[in-house]
Amino acid sequence: MKLEDLGGAYDRLQLDLALQSAIAGAPDLIPRVQKLSIPTIPSGQRAALADGVYSCGTTALANTDFNKALVAFRLAQKLVPQQQIFVNRAKMLERAIAERKLVSWRASLISLQRKLGVVCTKKCCTCTSHAQIARCRSLIGSGLRHTRNGVTIYTLAPYYSRRMGDRWTRVLKSVKKQFQADLLEPIADIAADFLIENTNVIKDLDAVVPVPPSTEKFSERGFAPNDIVARHIGARLALPLIPVLCRRPGPPTREATDEELAVQFEVRSADGGGVQGLSLLLVEDIWTWGRTIPISAHKLISAGARNVVALALGKTEG
């Protein structure tokens, strides 16, 4: 056997081992792929390796290993440069890592306490995340988990609509009733950390989609809370924002029948392909009976989304 033939056989063996690692979800996939000569890999096998590497990246992200996740996203992008989700998440994660540098991160923790009025009185605060501060200061607990019409909904805390209730209710009412949009960024910081610390969904997510408000509420407030929260969560967790859902005018949510409510929501036809094959995080502010979230989720799945889970800031409890 010639030397070049021996080298080719070795390269094929390494590729086969990498493909086996990708299929098995083995932890050694990234170093195996890094040793390969990417231009020599057939396109079909390259795509399979990219999907495996990308999955390693989302798992690393869920485990808060942001640097390993970035290596994985960049490698997936190198394997399949035309896959936009790899490109976008790599760029977003670079920015998210920069924001997590010690000085910036501590500054955001202090800003949260100041804006939400929950300043820690300890001589030395040991909380290292926004969600930890929120739990420490009794803003939220461990969260809620419900299923409505096949859609899993994670909720940060109860929301008491008919009374001031707890601190979290007062914060959300400041947004809903007093239009304090500046509170949405620290709220989103809490939500992003909550997803990492209290759920296991991060490893399966590709992008984030906000539930659109009714035209009446948007006109009244002048901003869409879900858009702001979804965009900031996306920036923290390297999840591209895909605002494909839109809402037509119609009866208010509380008054509309299921059929009337369903026809109000649609996926923009021009952008619907943007969710094809993706696992999505649907963001809602407050939910009561759980109709809007499943309707929105099923619209996205009909447009090609692989899976949809929802995150809500509060659930009405009276």
71 vs 42, higher pLDDT: 71
Band of residue 76 on the pLDDT scale cut at 50, 70, 90 = very high
- Identify the domain containing residue 87 by its residue range: 3-98
Residues 197 and 88 in one domain: no
Band of residue 252 on the pLDDT scale cut at 50, 70, 90 = confident
Residue 312 has pLDDT above 50, yes or no: yes
Residue at 154 is within a domain: yes
Could you give phi then psi for residue 28, rounded to 5 degrees?
-90, 10
Residues 169 and 285 in one domain: yes
Residue at 11 is within a domain: yes
The pLDDT value recorded for residue 20 is 61
Residue at 113 is within a domain: no
Q: Give the CATH number, domain containing residue 223.
A: 3.40.50
- What would the two tokens of residue 140 be? 């939220």
Residue 290 has pLDDT above 60, yes or no: yes
Least confident of 14-28, 92-106, 136-150, 159-173: 14-28
CA dihedral 105, 107, 112, 115 (to 10 degrees): -160
Q: Are strands 245-247 and 265-267 parallel, antiparallel or unpaired?
A: antiparallel
Residues 26 and 153 in one domain: no
Residue at 110 is within a domain: no
Q: Cα(50)–Cα(76) distance, rounded to whole angstroms? A: 4
Residues 90 and 156 in one domain: no
Q: Cα(78)–Cα(10) distance, rounded to whole angstroms? A: 22
The pLDDT value recorded for residue 273 is 63
Residues 155 and 86 in one domain: no
Tell which of 83, 98, 113 closes a domain: 98
pLDDT, one tens digit per residue, over 124-154 is 778 899 999 999 999 999 999 999 999 999 9
Strand partners, 151: 148
Q: Are 208 and 233 in contact (CB under 8 A)?
A: yes
Residue 8 has pLDDT above 60, yes or no: no
The pLDDT value recorded for residue 22 is 53
Band of residue 7 on the pLDDT scale cut at 50, 70, 90 = very low
The pLDDT value recorded for residue 271 is 55
pLDDT, one tens digit per residue, over 206-236 is 999 999 998 888 888 889 999 999 999 999 9
Q: Cα(205)–Cα(210) distance, rounded to whole angstroms? A: 14
Closest by Cα among 3, 58, 7 to 30: 58
Structurally, the chain folds into a number of domains equal to 2
